[in-house]
Structures are given as structure tokens and as C-alpha cells.
Amino acid sequence: MSNQELLIRQRFTRQELQCRCGCGAMPPQASIERLTALRYVLDMPLTINSAARCVRHNTNIKGATNSPHIVPSTARPGEQKTWGGCGFDIRITSLAHATRIAIAAEKVGFRGIGISTKNNFIHIDDMARPQITHWDY
Ligand SMILES: [Zn+2]
């Protein structure tokens, strides 16, 4: 098996998915499984720039207040609980790369897809939405 194949087949590590502040916040299992399915369908490695975030870290990096990256257990009381840590920002090298990921992401059930060619990432999340939503940053 080549290194590339190994990268695709192994599980995502905690380091790849947990909040970058070191608090240990992780995405929900269902979203991790969907991300794993996405990588399987794409059959290529994915570089995760950002996944789960605690509220404090999300604030520190100036993330949106209602960002799907925020883990629900660390959300403020009364805030919506349907997004819970289910956002993933994946590094892209081109618009073609992003498009390929976007098509596969829809196929495996991600419902929010945002592309930033300026900052070289695609955001995907499986937040409950009435319809699949696309946007550009
Ligand atoms: Zn954190």
C-alpha cells in the first residue's frame, strides 16, 4: 500500500479533528463518520484546517457566532443546538479541487458547502438545513 493509500484509509486522528486550542472538543461521531465517508468516496487525502471549536477558540479566531464548528456542549445556554461541531474546513489547491470535494460532500450528505478560493479552503457541514446551501467567502 502506498503512503497515499494509507493516508486515505486510516482513521482521522484526534489531532486533525479536535479544537485547535487544546481543550479537547471533538466533532460528533456522526459527522466524523460522514467526513470519513467523504474521503473514501473521493479516494484522496484531506487536509483539515479547522474542525471542532469551543466557544472561546471560535471567538478568538473571529468565527461566526452561530458557526457550525462550535461544539454544543460548550455553547452558551439558549443557543441553538442543531449545528454542534459538525463543520470542517478543508484545504484546497484549486477551484477544481474544491468542486470535486463539493460534489462528493453532497453525495455523502453534507448540507452546507462554502468555498473560499482566496483563502484556499472549502467549508462543509452537516448542520440540519431545509435544503443544501452553497456559498462563497
Ligand atoms: Zn477549544
> What digits encode the pLDDT tens for the residues 55-108?
899 999 999 988 999 986 545 555 545 567 899 999 999 999 999 999 999 999
Size of the chain, expressed as the number of residues it contains: 137
C-alpha of residue 21 to centroid of ligand 1, in Å: 4
- Residue 61 CA, ligand 1 centroid: distance in Å: 11
pLDDT per residue as tens digits for the range 11-65:
899 999 999 999 988 998 899 999 999 999 999 999 999 999 998 999 999 999 8
Q: Which helix (H) or strand (E) holds 105?
A: helix 95-107
Distance CA 102, CA 99 (A): 5
- Tell me whether strands 133-136 and 112-116 are parallel, antiparallel or unpaired: parallel
- Each domain of the chain, given as residue ranges in start order, spans 3-136
Reduced to 3 states, what is the DSSP secondary structure of residue 114?
strand
Distance 110 CA to ligand 1 centre (A): 23
β-bridge mates for residue 115, sequence order: 122, 136
Domain 3-136 architecture: 2-Layer Sandwich (3.30)
CA of 70 to the centre of ligand 1 (A): 9
Ligand 1 mean position, distance from CA 64 (Å): 15
